[in-house]
Amino acid sequence: MIVNASILKGKEFELIEEGFLRIDHGLIKEVDEGYERGGVDYRRHVIMPALMNSHTHLGDSFAKEAVSGLGVREAVGPEGRKWQLYERECEGLIIAGMRESVEYMLGSGTTFFADFRENEKKGVKMLRKACEGYPIKKRILGRDVDINYVDGLGLNIYNLNQIPEDRGNKLVAIHAGEEKEEMSLALEHKPDIIIHATLATKEEIKEIAEGGIEVVVCPRSNATLGVGFPPVRKLIDAGVRVSLGTDNVMINSPNLFREMEFLYKISHLSGSLSPIEILQTCTVNPAETFNLNSGFIEEGRDADLVFIDKDSVNMRHSRDIIASIVSRCGPADVSKVMVGGELIVDRDERQNRQSR
């Protein structure tokens, strides 16, 4: 399959205004300038790598805004309201909520997520069931479960004793830095990934960088729970790879466009981030962190792609397409989503059918 379109190529998203992509057996085989004869005409679109959500709790989808107005401890701490809500809810509704969030993510161009799945082995099984039939890629980070049953562990600061001696090639991710003192405790356990790092000190940022630890930030969640704003500029400047997550669905929609816009705009109050750096937190960076062969458009990478309608009423007249994607674009501007070379969302096709 050959498609003619605008394309954001490579790790720095170099804009090819008039270019083509050749896709074969799920992989990008060629990307270059100029329209190719016989290619499908997608000139109305700009093709970008599909988005990756590096931190979710999809299990929470059954109770949106149920912790509104609460601080981090009251909402999601050991005795937090979240756990009371789970106790009262039936399994069927929790699974249905997760499934709806998966559908929402795919429809808005997110084709990968890394989830902290609570509730032991049973909870992991529920998420696997919810994902059945959807071509979404995922990493499930469980707790109170054998590490070999999952892609890794997703822990809170109060269950670090679950980290086994031998981790094999599994990931260990820890929520830390929403409250003081959490960072130093987490760092003692040498995690692969720290989620948040919001209150990390200068010394802790240095330790993260020297330890080669990956960081996932969730700025909308931090703001809602009154935690602060993550030091993304300082982390990147220290050489840390930073990815972006939307955190609990109780608090946020798993909508990375909103998360990118929030991070971009608030960053101007304390160490500005560029649109390219922001887009990398949802593509290039998580591809490295979670070892995925997608995340940017280059020969040999998986064809996991999003086609943005650059002529929608929202996107038209953009003078800087990457800045517009980061600060303006939304799910309604996503025309097509491709996973492994297959179009799994095609809104243009649906519109064409309706107008026939």
Binding site for Zn ion (CB under 5 A): 247
Q: Which of 107, 80, 55, 85 is nearest to 248 (CA)?
A: 55
The residue among 227 and 284 lying less far from Zn ion, judged by its C-beta, is 227
Quick count: other Cβ atoms within 10 Å of Cβ 212?
Answer: 11
Quick count: other Cβ atoms within 10 Å of Cβ 149?
Answer: 13
In whole angstroms, the minimum distance from the beta carbon of 192 to Zn ion comes to 16
The residue among 47 and 141 lying less far from Zn ion, judged by its C-beta, is 141
- Inter-residue contact 326 to 261 (CB < 8 Å): yes
In whole angstroms, the minimum distance from the beta carbon of 56 to Zn ion comes to 8
> Which is it for the CA torsion 298, 299, 303, 308, positive or negative?
positive
Ramachandran quadrant class, 201 (left: phi over 0; alpha: psi -120 to 50; beta: rest)? beta
In whole angstroms, the minimum distance from the beta carbon of 281 to Zn ion comes to 16
The residue among 259 and 304 lying less far from Zn ion, judged by its C-beta, is 259
Q: Which of 276, 297, 273 is nearest to 287 (CA)?
A: 297
In whole angstroms, the minimum distance from the beta carbon of 204 to Zn ion comes to 19
How many Å apart are CA 32 and CA 22, to the nearest integer? 9
The residue among 251 and 297 lying less far from Zn ion, judged by its C-beta, is 251
Amino acid at 45: H
Quick count: other Cβ atoms within 10 Å of Cβ 138?
Answer: 22
Quick count: other Cβ atoms within 10 Å of Cβ 206?
Answer: 15
Q: How many Cα atoms within 13 Å fall on the side-chain side of residue 165?
A: 0
How many Å apart are CA 26 and CA 263, to the nearest integer? 32
Amino acid at 73: R
The residue among 182 and 247 lying less far from Zn ion, judged by its C-beta, is 247
> Max CA-CA distance within the chain?
63
Question: Which residue's structure tokens are 């992991």?
Answer: 124
In whole angstroms, the minimum distance from the beta carbon of 156 to Zn ion comes to 9
How many Å apart are CA 317 and CA 305, to the nearest integer? 23
In whole angstroms, the minimum distance from the beta carbon of 195 to Zn ion comes to 6
Q: Which of 160, 246, 237, 148 is nearest to 200 (CA)?
A: 237
The residue among 192 and 247 lying less far from Zn ion, judged by its C-beta, is 247
Instruction: Report the residue closest to Zn ion, judged by CB.
Output: 247
In whole angstroms, the minimum distance from the beta carbon of 130 to Zn ion comes to 18
In whole angstroms, the minimum distance from the beta carbon of 193 to Zn ion comes to 11
Q: Which two tokens stand for residue 83?
A: 């756990």
In whole angstroms, the minimum distance from the beta carbon of 330 to Zn ion comes to 23
DSSP alpha helix (H) spans, 21-80: 72-76
The residue among 208 and 227 lying less far from Zn ion, judged by its C-beta, is 227
The residue among 155 and 308 lying less far from Zn ion, judged by its C-beta, is 155
The residue among 247 and 302 lying less far from Zn ion, judged by its C-beta, is 247
